[in-house]
């Protein structure tokens, strides 16, 4: 058969033809009505060959869709392996088994709380947990190892308390500020998160629209489900977007991506520096584990199962050799401000300033990479006093992300010296549960909280925020209590309140 | 129809007439047997128009009663909109649906523990939680955001420990002291809390009577359910009351309130400075959410539901522009001592002294305004050493409120330098559960605890209390433990005590 | 009727006669087969008149027995009110109702674990909790207010960690030491606790025998269920006992008690200084609350129920005016070493030394008096560095009690400078559950733990113990974590281990 | 009967003959088909006579096997007491009762998760807990007293956080290092743990094979279930093993063991110095408690049951008089490097250096000896700054064990200055649950974690690790929070998320 893939293809392939190529030796799959020969690609697939072989000779669209941007096949599979259109009528429909878990989810979707019952960002997460597909939830909600850093990210804010000023005129509150020169309504941005279509079939463009509505910036992820151009196209005139970049080993590809983004109007280049390798997330891995095969006991440790959930599927093409030596090159290929995303100690902030970049994001990648990485907010409290001592506090813009859930969190970061904060998962959850209205309401709630809390700490504008408004003495102490004495606590007879009269 | 509202009105309005005005275009409501045209008032209603429209054309008394002082309509609705008496016999009674929640509550009321079973202030709260209406409980018990400050208020006292002195002659204990020149039996006062009728149909006058009986001071709230004069009238000869003031944008109104209070004999003016905007309290908001509307999924984030529970309903007319510049004016309009209620850091205490006021209350409004505001007791431990260093400790009286539940709490505050403490919710709960006898017993229990604990720390009078009697080293540390390692803790097999013999 | 109480009384009183005196106006009770007219004593009864009136005209023996030493009536009721013997055959037996709680307890007693299953001191407590009468358990196990100090007492030991030395010759371990000049086998003593018969009908003499067997000292409580002489009589030749003393307002009584104890051979006088008033213990109070009367709602706070459990019943005759001025008098009336029991800060230890007493017990009365009193072990760590700085560490003997449950606790106290530790409740529980064998095993377990742990920290004798063997950096920090964020923790999806295969 | 035990024995003993010797006066047992007269050995048996007497006159093989190395009888029972072979056909088989607990276990074994579902070391423990025999689990999983040190060992790692460096070239990660001169692939070794056959019938040789496969070192335990030579024989050419040594009172035996190990090629002698007496482990003791006899209430504390689980059974022959004076002798009898295992404070590390040994293991014996011993990692953070100050940091190799579960734990120890870490229980659990494939996978998982985490902290080789990469400020604080206020927490009404619509 001639694999020549011409637009003039007349005769469509049939399901029967495809079905014959169902082995590692010859593996075809159907995606969006077209067939592809991925035999040679199997060993290169970032998600491992196993998951492709599951669909060998079949239609893989449903599984493929949310975790690959639309231009993936064009980019990574040679044109000669694009086999052309398939007569989908001839493709056998797979009988889906009744999945009790999915039935339960559909039931929960019917009983979903209405949007007005969400009063804070955690509420969206509570709803999303109930209505998302298990694997999508696992991908979004998981973190590295024991997920201790992931939880510490919000936890750390609990160690910072306010020292409000009273009797300030706070009639008019202005929450606007600037980020990398762009005026925004509120001091947060939508940070880059991968695979938006796992949560909502429209994907990241929903975030684009939400950001526009509230006049905040969206950072476009390299690993979006939508293509970069789709996300740019969704932006309205004058809407500011930034690019988050995983640096490819092939610098030409990287250069192309960067310069394309600049051409499309991106106003900031955020180079991810905390992910030379994508993290192991066990919740994600476990959610992928299928009962198939579970009856066969593996007999040797050799055959370590390396299918590691959605995280691995997207981890290809990140260059672990990226280093400080590469920064001048980046400065040379773009005029966009360059920001290093994922800096985690004061020494590297100083080095970043010396290297000439315009900003850093103090971040641990949402707790998805290194467990026991410190929270961004804690690093910020380490960084700023050192910079101030050197008089360097204005030489770069410092952002923080991870764990932001309340306007009080944002205010704490700004008091400590951050220019703004990135928020990721909460908007994903709002989008997954309620689509654009969810994102809209989430942002509105933050705005309401922000205005109120600025009033309550006695600040009418962002520039009023300063370190004397917070008490951070507890922040740097990582406390783990002495393990409990179970014999002693079991035998303690706790006090109880007054007892009701017994029923008559 | 002539809306002229004369006392000579002969013909009463009928239910049928009222019922026709049931829309935003023309909205009448019945309150205490009289009709009012609130059409024009709808957009101004602090609680939002929605809640009024629910009763358009109907009798709204039951909902209206506990959350509006009796003089509200006279004060805020033009006389021309007072339509006169209604022939209540002609008004259709609404069939109330059987509410299983209310039935359960009535059942719980029947089985209420008797008063003698309450041995401490928490016990009243436990009973009140069971027997109060859900919405009333939600209003009283709720706090800002995650209610972390609300709980920290009591929690903070747990970080202060005693260093008692032994072998002091403590046969005779004198718990009396003075506050703003008034002699009182115990170093606490009943602080201002809003909407007393939510808990008890008689409202704040019960607290007046309780305070009299135990010779302590009551602070009269601006947002009481009873009118100011009702509360003054309930006081007996020589009983001391203070006025808590929310400052109105219209300073004439404020001036009138202040001077009226002074005339009625109030001995202190407590200006609330921690509430330029009333807080969001999600528990309260959620309790108001009705299942009505919940079948309709809102399709856009635009229509953010702004009905925010009882808190919002009373938040009008607070001036967010109130500032230090206004203090001289207050000093000029009254001879009452002025106390700033809601100061939260040492800088503002110093400023208060410099501004010439006679006192401050270190308070975060019971945790109802800004989450992560520090507890009053923690602020006190920050304030006093600074004042002592300046020799300013006697230039003002310092009060603390929030989280006081035990006499030990009061003693800690006094040891650290407070002149007295305010107690709010506990008396509300005692009143809600048991009326005046509840308030009486709550105060008596505090008194018993106070005498005993003064003996046990070796002090026979209030002036013996001093900072060397407490250990506050743990107080300023806001500790949040490292998130738990669930895999590890799940696998730990805890020790257990000896096993009973198996049954024969 | 002639109340003359002569031994020659011939005619016994009848139940019918007694039964007529069943009111406050004339109140007779039967105790151990004899009648007493307690009418005039009613208002003086430390436990309040109510509890006596419950038995007016009846046999009160069962209730009276465990909480009054046998010589109580002789001591406190005028001989003229002793009415003589009763013909018990004529006294109506009260039908006891079936008490389901008591039935459950009897059931639990049958299934009691055998003694060999108790491997540590907590195990006895676990058994005792199950098999003791509810009121007895409540009296022993309760503490002041929220019982925070009571629990902190053991908790504090958890903040002290060892710095063991290895490669010491620890073949032979000698746990013996001296206390106030007496050689003992182990560095603990049985401290004074009240009302031993609540736990075991034989009462404190069981502890006397246990102490003898293991050659440790018993401190005889003023408020024992057995009389002082009974406890002295139970001691064997050369067995050392100490006297714990509550000081009576009538110093003649106190002098008589002290001098009698000295004559009977007591080797130490421990004056309780932390109880000018006996504590409120709500668990104890609540356990006494009877359902009788609970159908009547009290209508006023006036009638505060003052029946406050077993604690109040024994609180009479303690002089709250006792002060440092009294110490010289004590030194003048006895040659026994005098030790102040209940000292709680370094200032008072210094004062004790200056006053010439031979020792102090750093104690908070087992957490039964002042809540938020610090643990004895914490006070010790405050005291010793100050004494060492002054070179005073050998001028008195310092003891610690409260919360000791493990030999490691004892070793920590001794490393920090204590001469010995007092242990109270654990032996009461062992006695309540298993009698003398229980006490014996409890002491043996401590001994086994002690030998092992001395080996493991590298010390072969008590004098090897020293402060460099412990790390106390965490001890003085009273930490209460930031209240938890329930929305956040509810939404967190914790990691779980591998799932079992589903059942086939 | 002639006890002469010759190889020429012709006539086998019969079950009937053996059965007659079933008392303390004459006690024979069958082990592996041979009879032994242990009458005289009874009082010497480290596990106590009771457990042997249970099998007097019977076949004891099943109980004996896992807790005694094969050469035990030859070593410790005089040849004259070896009675020769038994005709096993004549030995009455004991009817085993159906044990519901064992049935449940067999059921759980059938449903065991497959190996690929184990994603981390805790997962093996979770599986092992389910499938191991209760007594075996109790022996492996138990610790001293309240098991607080045992849990603190891992817990302590949670107080150490990373300060990663970004933009380092981490393409190639080299996890190899050297230990005592031996090159190893990863910086951990398999530390010595006793009684491997409790978990797997093959015992410690499985660990030997796993260690070989991953090129890490195994430390051979004195108290292995396999004999020393069996474990040596299982090693492949060039595979490095170390010897863990309990020092016998009889130094000749010790010398023989050491010199034999050296001859067999062991490359390090680890002398255990933290176990002059083996610990009490109550979970282990309790697991041994049999219901037999439990119907008889012991009447006296005298008869303290001393059967203390598996721990005691192996505690013989450890010399508690071992001291620093013995070190020169050890240095004189072997050329192997000598390492002291169980050092617990900086003073002893310094003394170790001065005594001329080559290394120390900072260890508390897995929390099995002294409760409240500090974790090895905490001791390390105390030790290294002192050594560095003296310039002694390279004079010995420092190892740490206890609580290592994640590669992050290993990295923390290495950053702080450890040469390597020992891992014990996790490999035992992997072996118990899955045999060699389990051990293999456990090591592979650690390796995967290690590579990833080195990348994420910015280090490409072991020598890059250094103290600036970790934040240890929280490490030395042993925090126990103030006991909770149960009345207060019971009455708090926690926030909840949005409610689902009610079912239609």
| Pairwise CB contact (< 8 Å): B304 & A119 | no
| Pairwise CB contact (< 8 Å): B488 & D123 | no
Confidence at residue A136, expressed as pLDDT on a 0 to 100 scale: 93
Asked, for residue A176, whether it belongs to a domain, the answer is: yes
Mean pLDDT score of chain B, rounded to an integer? 89
| Pairwise CB contact (< 8 Å): A487 & C137 | no
Which phi and psi (to 5°) does residue B32 adopt?
Answer: 45, 45
Same domain, D184 and D322: yes
A444 interfacial to chain B (CB closer than 8 Å): yes
Same domain, C63 and C186: no
B466 interfacial to chain C (CB closer than 8 Å): no
Q: Which residues of D touch A127 (CB under 8 A)?
A: 497-498
- Which residues of C form the catalytic set? 246, 274, 365
| Pairwise CB contact (< 8 Å): B167 & C324 | yes
Confidence at residue A46, expressed as pLDDT on a 0 to 100 scale: 66
Which phi and psi (to 5°) does residue D262 adopt?
Answer: -65, -45
Q: Which residues of A touch D440 (CB under 8 A)?
A: 300-302
D8 interfacial to chain A (CB closer than 8 Å): no
Chain-centre distance for alpha carbon A65: 18
Q: Which of A113, A164, A437 shows the shortest C-beta gap to B344?
A: A164
Which of A291, A256, A287, A277 has its CA nearest to residue A319?
A277
Q: Which residues of B touch D481 (CB under 8 A)?
A: 479
Q: What is the DSSP letter of B479?
A: B
Q: How many CB pairs under 8 A join A and D?
A: 195
Q: Which residues of A touch C495 (CB under 8 A)?
A: 146-147, 282-283
Would you say A419 and A360 are in contact if contact means Cβ atoms under 8 Å apart? no
3-class secondary structure per residue, D28-80: EEEECCEEEECCCCHHHCCCCHHHHHCCCCEECHHHHHHHCCCCHHHHHCCHH
Q: Which residues of A touch B286 (CB under 8 A)?
A: 117, 119
The DSSP bridge pattern shows strands A26-31 and A22-23 to be antiparallel
CATH number at residue B26: 3.10.120.10
CATH number at residue D216: 3.20.20.70
For D:368-407, CB contacts with B below 8 A are 405
d(CA D395, CA D398): 10
The DSSP bridge pattern shows strands A359-362 and A338-343 to be parallel
3-class secondary structure per residue, C420-460: EEEECHHHHHHHHHHHHHHHHHHHHHHHHHHHHHHHHHCCC
Would you say D7 and D34 are in contact if contact means Cβ atoms under 8 Å apart? no
Would you say A482 and D478 are in contact if contact means Cβ atoms under 8 Å apart? yes
Angle formed by the axes of helices D376-390 and D407-416, nearest 10°: 20
D3 interfacial to chain C (CB closer than 8 Å): no
Q: Which residues of D touch C169 (CB under 8 A)?
A: 320-323
C488 interfacial to chain B (CB closer than 8 Å): yes
Q: What is the DSSP letter of B165?
A: -
d(CA B446, CA B469): 20
Confidence at residue D409, expressed as pLDDT on a 0 to 100 scale: 98
Angle formed by the axes of helices A407-416 and A376-390, nearest 10°: 20
- Per residue in B319-372, pLDDT tens? 999 999 999 999 999 999 999 999 999 999 999 999 999 999 999 999 999 999
Q: What tokens were used for C32?
A: 């151990």
Same domain, D257 and D319: yes
Cα angle for residues A39, A41, A45 (degrees, 5° grid): 125
| D39–chain B nearest CA distance, Å | 33
C499 interfacial to chain D (CB closer than 8 Å): yes
Sign of CA dihedral B8, B11, B15, B18: negative
Q: Which of B162, B169, B481 shows the shortest C-beta gap to C321?
A: B169
- Per residue in B181-219, pLDDT tens? 999 999 999 999 988 999 999 999 999 999 999 999 999
- Chain B residue with the nearest C-alpha to that of C493: B486
- Chain C residue with the nearest C-alpha to that of A429: C491
Q: What tokens were used for A451?
A: 């205005």
Same domain, D170 and D260: yes
| Pairwise CB contact (< 8 Å): C152 & D482 | yes
Domain total for chain D? 2
Asked, for residue A75, whether it belongs to a domain, the answer is: yes
Confidence at residue B313, expressed as pLDDT on a 0 to 100 scale: 40
- Per residue in A450-461, pLDDT tens? 999 999 999 999
Instruction: Produce one character per residue of B282-293: b if its CB has 16 or more CB atoms within 10 Å, e if not.
Output: bbbbbbbbeeee
| Pairwise CB contact (< 8 Å): A122 & C487 | yes
C300 interfacial to chain B (CB closer than 8 Å): yes
d(CA B476, CA A245): 42
| D174–chain B nearest CA distance, Å | 29
Residue D438, H or E segment: helix D425-457
Q: What tokens were used for D4?
A: 């002469």
Q: Which residues of A touch B478 (CB under 8 A)?
A: 158-161, 471, 473-474
| Pairwise CB contact (< 8 Å): A344 & D160 | no
Asked, for residue B465, whether it belongs to a domain, the answer is: yes
Would you say B375 and B152 are in contact if contact means Cβ atoms under 8 Å apart? yes
Q: Which of C299, C343, C481 shows the shortest C-beta gap to B166?
A: C343
Q: What tokens were used for D135?
A: 């007594």
Asked, for residue A117, whether it belongs to a domain, the answer is: no
Which of A69, A71, A70, A73 has its CA nearest to residue A82?
A73
| C492–chain A nearest CA distance, Å | 8
- Chain A residue with the nearest C-alpha to that of C404: A488
Q: Which of A365, A371, A401, A409 is catalytic?
A: A365
Q: What tokens were used for D152?
A: 């603190």
Which phi and psi (to 5°) does residue A392 adopt?
Answer: -100, 5
Q: Which of D158, D455, D479 shows the shortest C-beta gap to A320?
A: D455
Residue A244, H or E segment: strand A241-245
Chains contacting B (3 or more CB pairs within 8 Å):
A, C, D
Number of H helices, E strands in chain C: 19, 15
Q: What is the DSSP letter of A417?
A: T
Task: Please count the other Cβ atoms lying within 10 Å of the Cβ belonging to residue A296.
Answer: 9
Could you tell me where the beta strands, DSSP code E, fall in B255-353?
269-272, 338-343
- Which residues of D form the catalytic set? 246, 274, 365
d(CA C449, CA D145): 9
| Pairwise CB contact (< 8 Å): C493 & A129 | yes
Same domain, D76 and D149: no
Same domain, B175 and B268: yes
| Pairwise CB contact (< 8 Å): B165 & C496 | no
Same domain, B222 and B351: yes
- What percent of chain C has a predicted confidence (pLDDT) above 70? 91
| Pairwise CB contact (< 8 Å): C125 & A491 | yes
Q: Which of C117, C152, C166 shows the shortest C-beta gap to D342?
A: C166
Asked, for residue C256, whether it belongs to a domain, the answer is: yes
Q: What is the DSSP letter of A373?
A: B
Same domain, A76 and A167: no
**In which domain, by residue range, is C355 found?**
135-278+312-471
Asked, for residue D502, whether it belongs to a domain, the answer is: no
A181 interfacial to chain B (CB closer than 8 Å): no
Confidence at residue B50, expressed as pLDDT on a 0 to 100 scale: 81
Chains contacting C (3 or more CB pairs within 8 Å):
A, B, D
- Chain B residue with the nearest C-alpha to that of A113: B294
* pLDDT, average across residues C154-172: 96
Would you say D422 and D195 are in contact if contact means Cβ atoms under 8 Å apart? no
For D:410-439, CB contacts with A below 8 A are 412, 436-439
Mutant choice from D456, D457, D489, D504 vs A, greatest count of A C-beta within 10 A = D456
d(CA C443, CA C210): 8
* pLDDT, average across residues A171-190: 97
Confidence at residue B282, expressed as pLDDT on a 0 to 100 scale: 92
Predicted model pTM = 0.91
Which phi and psi (to 5°) does residue D139 adopt?
Answer: -65, -45
The DSSP bridge pattern shows strands B420-423 and B177-179 to be unpaired
D297 interfacial to chain B (CB closer than 8 Å): no
Same domain, A45 and A166: no
Asked, for residue B225, whether it belongs to a domain, the answer is: yes
| DSSP output for D381-422 | HHHHHHHHHHT-TTSSEEEEESS--SHHHHHHHHHHT-SEEE
Question: Of C90, C121, C155, which one is at a domain's C-terminal end?
Answer: C90
| A308–chain B nearest CA distance, Å | 19
Q: Which residues of B touch D145 (CB under 8 A)?
A: none
Q: B274 an active-site residue?
A: yes
Same domain, A84 and A151: no
Confidence at residue D66, expressed as pLDDT on a 0 to 100 scale: 79
Asked, for residue D290, whether it belongs to a domain, the answer is: no
d(CA B416, CA B414): 5
D354 interfacial to chain C (CB closer than 8 Å): no
For A:47-86, CB contacts with B below 8 A are none
Q: Which residues of D touch C403 (CB under 8 A)?
A: none
For D:193-212, CB contacts with C below 8 A are none
Would you say C116 and D304 are in contact if contact means Cβ atoms under 8 Å apart? yes
Same domain, A331 and A447: yes
Question: Of C66, C90, C114, which one is at a domain's C-terminal end?
Answer: C90
**Residue A8 pLDDT more than 70?**
no
Helix, strand, coil percentages for chain D (3-state, nearest 5): 45, 15, 45
Angle formed by the axes of helices B100-110 and B121-131, nearest 10°: 140
* pLDDT, average across residues A346-358: 98
Q: One digit per residue, pLDDT tens: chain D, 504 residues?
A: 444 444 555 688 998 999 999 999 999 999 989 999 999 888 777 667 888 888 899 998 888 887 787 778 887 788 889 999 999 888 887 776 778 888 999 999 999 999 999 999 999 999 999 999 998 999 999 999 999 999 999 999 999 999 999 999 999 999 999 999 999 999 999 999 988 999 999 999 999 999 999 999 999 999 899 999 999 999 999 999 999 999 998 899 999 999 999 999 999 999 999 999 888 899 988 887 654 333 333 333 333 334 444 444 445 568 999 999 999 999 999 999 999 999 999 999 999 999 999 999 999 999 999 999 999 999 999 999 999 999 999 999 999 999 999 999 999 999 999 999 999 999 999 999 999 999 999 999 999 999 999 999 999 999 999 999 999 999 988 999 989 888 888 889 898 888 888 765
Same domain, D359 and D453: yes
d(CA B217, CA B211): 6
For residues B75 and A254, the model is more confident at A254
Q: What tokens were used for C16?
A: 């019918």
């Amino acid at each position: 058969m001639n694999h020549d893939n011409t637009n003039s293809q007349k005769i469509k392939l049939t399901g029967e033809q495809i079905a014959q190529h169902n082995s590692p030796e010859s593996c075809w799959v159907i995606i969006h009505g077209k067939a592809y020969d991925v035999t040679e690609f199997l060993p290169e697939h970032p998600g491992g060959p196993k998951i492709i072989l599951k669909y060998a000779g079949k239609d893989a669209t449903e599984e493929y869709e949310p975790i690959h941007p639309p231009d993936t096949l064009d980019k990574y599979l040679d044109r000669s392996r694009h086999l052309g259109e398939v007569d989908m009528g001839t493709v056998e429909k797979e009988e889906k088994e009744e999945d009790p878990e999915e039935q339960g989810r559909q039931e929960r979707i019917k009983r979903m709380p209405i949007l007005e019952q969400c009063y804070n960002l955690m509420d969206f997460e509570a709803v999303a947990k109930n209505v998302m597909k298990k694997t999508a939830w696992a991908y979004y909600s998981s973190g590295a190892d024991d997920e201790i850093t992931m939880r510490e990210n919000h936890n750390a804010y609990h160690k910072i308390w306010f020292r409000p000023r009273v009797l300030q005129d706070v009639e008019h509150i202005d929450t606007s500020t600037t980020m990398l020169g762009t005026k925004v309504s509120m001091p947060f941005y939508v940070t880059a998160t991968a695979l938006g279509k796992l949560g909502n079939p429209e994907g990241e463009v929903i975030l684009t629209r939400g950001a526009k509505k509230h006049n905040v910036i969206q950072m476009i992820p390299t690993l979006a489900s939508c293509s970069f151009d789709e996300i740019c196209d969704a932006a309205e005139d004058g809407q500011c977007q930034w690019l988050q970049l995983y640096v490819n080993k092939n610098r030409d590809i990287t250069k192309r991506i960067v310069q394309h983004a600049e051409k499309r109007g991106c106003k900031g280049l955020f180079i991810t520096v905390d992910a030379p390798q994508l993290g192991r997330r066990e919740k994600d891995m476990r959610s992928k584990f299928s009962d198939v095969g579970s009856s066969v006991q593996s007999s040797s440790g050799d055959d370590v199962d390396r299918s590691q959930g959605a995280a691995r599927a997207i981890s290809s093409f990140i260059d672990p050799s990226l280093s400080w030596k590469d920064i001048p090159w980046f400065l040379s290929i773009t005029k966009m401000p360059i920001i290093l995303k994922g800096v985690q100690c004061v020494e590297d902030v100083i080095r970043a300033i010396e290297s000439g970049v315009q900003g850093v994001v103090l971040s641990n990648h949402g707790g998805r990479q290194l467990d026991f990485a410190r929270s961004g907010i804690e690093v910020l409290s380490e960084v700023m006093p050192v910079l101030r001592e050197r008089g360097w506090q204005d030489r770069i813009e410092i952002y923080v992300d991870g764990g932001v859930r309340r306007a009080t969190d944002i205010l704490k970061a700004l008091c400590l010296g951050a220019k703004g904060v990135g928020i990721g998962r909460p908007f994903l959850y709002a989008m997954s549960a309620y689509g654009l209205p969810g994102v809209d309401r989430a942002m509105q709630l933050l705005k309401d909280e922000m205005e109120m809390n600025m009033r309550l700490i006695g600040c009418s504008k962002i520039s009023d925020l300063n370190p004397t408004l917070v008490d951070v003495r507890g922040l740097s102490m990582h406390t783990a209590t002495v393990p409990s004495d179970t014999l002693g606590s079991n035998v303690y007879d706790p006090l109880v309140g007054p007892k009701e009269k017994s029923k008559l």
